[in-house]
């Protein structure tokens, strides 16, 4: 299903706001824009790519560093239940996918609460958010190529029914997306931060939402 581009004014405003924040509020136009935050490039790093298609493809490739990172991909499996850890090992204890919050007796909320909880006697924590849940199988993408992921994320049948405008808001504001940078004791966060990820999404949409080859 082909998606129509959202208002470029909205997407541009989000990108502009993120870049102004990165440049200290934009008070000094001569201040170089920050091109990388915590291992994730900002839209400014791609501003010299003149061709919209090439720039959009490069922007999405950078976005994929977050979406394919274990902090996101563990809850977006293509088959079976969730995985865990940087090695993306099968969830322990074993759980299976089911409608809603999990199979009877294996609901996500049995172990996962509304926030991360540190272990009392060892290093580590149980992840949590409100609500904590597995992505639907239609949104499973762990192990996908960057090109496959891009095609999928634009398909409303496989992205939760979201328009491109919705994706900008989801990536930049959703609480479960935000968890990827606040995963609790014993876990490495995704590269960058949610503001940068949201700005990359907006810049990708503004450039036409094209996918890498």
DSSP string, 11-49: HHHHHHHHHHHHTTTTS-TTSPPP-EETTEE-GGGGTT-
**Has residue 111 been placed in a domain?**
yes
Q: According to the model, what pLDDT value does residue 96 have?
A: 79
pTM: 0.84
Cβ(195)–Cβ(38) under 8 Å?
no
Mean of per-residue pLDDT scores for the chain? 87
**Has residue 64 been placed in a domain?**
yes
List, for the chain, all residue ranges whose pLDDT scores fall below the cut of 50: 1-27
Q: What is the number of domains present in the chain? A: 1
Closest residue by Cα to residue 33 from 14, 15, 59? 15
pLDDT tens digits for 111-121?
999 999 999 99
Q: According to the model, what pLDDT value does residue 28 have?
A: 57
Cβ(75)–Cβ(134) under 8 Å?
yes
| CA–centroid distance for 144 within its chain | 14
**Has residue 3 been placed in a domain?**
no
Cβ(172)–Cβ(199) under 8 Å?
yes
The residue segments making up the domain with residue 133 are 8-206
Q: Name the phi and psi angles at 161, rounded to 5.
A: 75, 25
**Has residue 2 been placed in a domain?**
no
Sole residue written with tokens 């004014």: 9
Token couple for 121: 């006697």
Cβ(196)–Cβ(35) under 8 Å?
no
Q: According to the model, what pLDDT value does residue 74 have?
A: 97
**Has residue 147 been placed in a domain?**
yes
**Has residue 138 been placed in a domain?**
yes
3-state secondary structure of 148: helix
Q: According to the model, what pLDDT value does residue 22 have?
A: 42
Sole residue written with tokens 């993306």: 88
**Has residue 213 been placed in a domain?**
no
């Amino acid at each position: 299903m082909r998606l129509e581009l959202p208002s470029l004014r909205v997407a541009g405003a989000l990108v502009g706001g993120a870049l102004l924040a990165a440049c200290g509020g934009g008070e000094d136009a001569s201040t170089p824009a920050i091109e990388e935050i915590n291992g994730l490039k900002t839209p400014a790093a791609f501003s010299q790519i003149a061709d919209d298609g090439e720039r959009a493809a490069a922007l999405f490739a950078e976005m994929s560093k977050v979406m394919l990172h274990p902090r996101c991909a563990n809850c977006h499996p293509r088959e079976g239940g969730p995985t865990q850890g940087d090695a993306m090992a099968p969830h322990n204890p074993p759980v299976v996918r089911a409608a809603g919050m999990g199979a009877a007796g294996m609901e996500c909320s049995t172990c996962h609460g509304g926030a991360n909880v540190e272990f009392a006697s060892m290093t580590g924590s149980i992840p949590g958010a409100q609500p904590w849940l597995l992505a639907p199988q239609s949104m499973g993408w762990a192990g996908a190529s960057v090109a496959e992921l891009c095609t999928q994320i634009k398909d409303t049948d496989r992205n939760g029914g979201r328009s491109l405008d919705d994706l900008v808001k989801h990536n930049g504001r959703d609480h479960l997306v935000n968890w990827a940078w606040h995963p609790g004791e014993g876990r490495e966060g995704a590269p960058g931060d949610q503001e940068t990820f949201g700005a990359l999404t907006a810049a990708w949409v503004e450039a036409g939402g094209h996918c890498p080859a």
